[in-house]
């Protein structure tokens, strides 16, 4: 495969880093919210919020990269309906990756708990303190996360179908390519 048929190294790095962080954030999020109030619970909330804000920044960077760098096209033999479905699912993934951390930030603001990124940088609250709004945003944050899990399951099944059944390059385009690695090794 030529390099133009691959995502750029930056796009791949952001894809896998954000995926890993979202997996960890969801695991921690569901675990911590069921814990009884304790110093550990508060510590986990802080870690979750710091990592969540970090993912928010990475997602904004990824969206900026996506807008300025054309991704490889879908396989020519792919049916039109599947191409439309893939486009809708990719849009849904970007929308959820953006809205989930934003809803967490809005929730924390409305609940009156300012986020201090890594305990150093205070992040401005987006909403005034309001318990009813804070509780509603918690439901929104949870529901969006459950929706994201569903969309990710379909995304992964589709990627595996492309690789093992259609035997095309869709999954390989997002994996490290030897040529790219080799050329980067030469450049460093
Ligand atoms: C991609 C980023 C994020 C993901 C995947 C994520 C995921 C989750 C999940 C799965 C939960 C458990 C939901 C529940 O069962 O109630 C949760 C809870 C929570 N999240 Fe996030 N989150 C993210 C970003 C953020 C951000 C940026 C903040 C705040 C700055 C935040 C604040 C919270 C808080 C405070 C809770 C606990 C809610 C409660 O129990 O009262 N999250 N998150």
Average pLDDT, the chain: 93
Task: Report the C-alpha gap between 35 and 142 in whole angstroms.
Answer: 16
User: Atom 42 in ligand 1: which residue has the minimum CA distance?
Assistant: 104
Residue 64 main-chain phi, psi, to 5 deg: -60, -45
Cα 63 to ligand 1 centroid, rounded to whole Å = 21
Smallest CA separation from ligand 1 atom 7, residue: 26
86/151 Cα distance (integer angstroms): 11
Bigger pLDDT: 181 vs 95: 95
Best of 35, 41, 52 for a ligand 1 pocket test (most atoms within 8 Å of beta carbon): 52
Task: From 142, 149, 53, select the one nearest 101 (Cα to Cα).
Answer: 53
pLDDT beyond 80 at 125: yes
Shortest-distance Cα residue to atom 40 of ligand 1:
33
> What band does 184 get if pLDDT is binned at 50, 70 and 90?
very low
* pLDDT at residue number 182: 44
pLDDT band at 186 (very low <50, low <70, confident <90, very high): very low
Higher local confidence (pLDDT), 48 or 183 = 48
Of all protein residues, the one whose alpha carbon is nearest to atom 32 of ligand 1 is 104
For ligand 1, atom 9: residue with the closest CA? 29
Q: In this predicted structure, what is the pLDDT of residue 40?
A: 97
pLDDT digits (tens, 9 = 90+) for 127-172: 999 999 999 999 999 999 999 999 999 999 999 999 999 999 999 9
**For 37-62, what is the mean pLDDT?**
98
The model's pTM is 0.92
Q: How far is the CA of 165 from the centre of ligand 1 (A)?
A: 36
Q: Which atom of ligand 1 is nearest to the CA of 138?
A: 38
Asked whether residue 187 carries a pLDDT value surpassing 70, the answer given is no
Two structure tokens written together for 93: 């993934």
CA-30 nearest atom, ligand 1:
12
Indicate the pLDDT class of residue 69, thresholds 50, 70 and 90: very high
Residue 179's pLDDT is 58
Residue 181 has pLDDT above 90, yes or no: no
Percent of the chain with pLDDT over 90: 89
d(CA 102, CA 104): 5
Question: pLDDT at residue 2 above 90?
Answer: no
């Amino acid at each position: 495969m030529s390099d133009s048929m691959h995502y750029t190294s930056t796009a791949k790095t952001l894809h896998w880093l954000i995926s890993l962080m979202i997996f960890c954030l969801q695991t921690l999020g569901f675990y911590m919210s069921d814990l009884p109030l304790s110093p550990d619970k508060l510590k986990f909330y802080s870690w979750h919020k710091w990592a969540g804000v970090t993912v928010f920044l990475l997602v904004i960077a990824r969206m900026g990269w996506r807008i300025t760098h054309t991704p490889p096209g879908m396989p020519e033999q792919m049916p039109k309906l599947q191409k439309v479905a893939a486009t809708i699912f990719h849009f849904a993934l970007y929308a959820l990756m953006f809205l989930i951390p934003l809803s967490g930030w809005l929730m924390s603001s409305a609940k009156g708990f300012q986020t201090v990124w890594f305990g150093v940088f205070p992040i401005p609250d987006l909403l005034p303190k309001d318990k009813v709004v804070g509780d509603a945003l918690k439901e929104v944050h949870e529901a969006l996360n459950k929706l994201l899990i569903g969309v990710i399951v379909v995304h992964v099944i589709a990627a595996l179908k492309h690789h093992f059944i259609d035997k095309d390059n869709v999954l390989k385009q997002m994996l490290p390519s030897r040529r790219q690695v080799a050329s980067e090794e030469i450049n460093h």
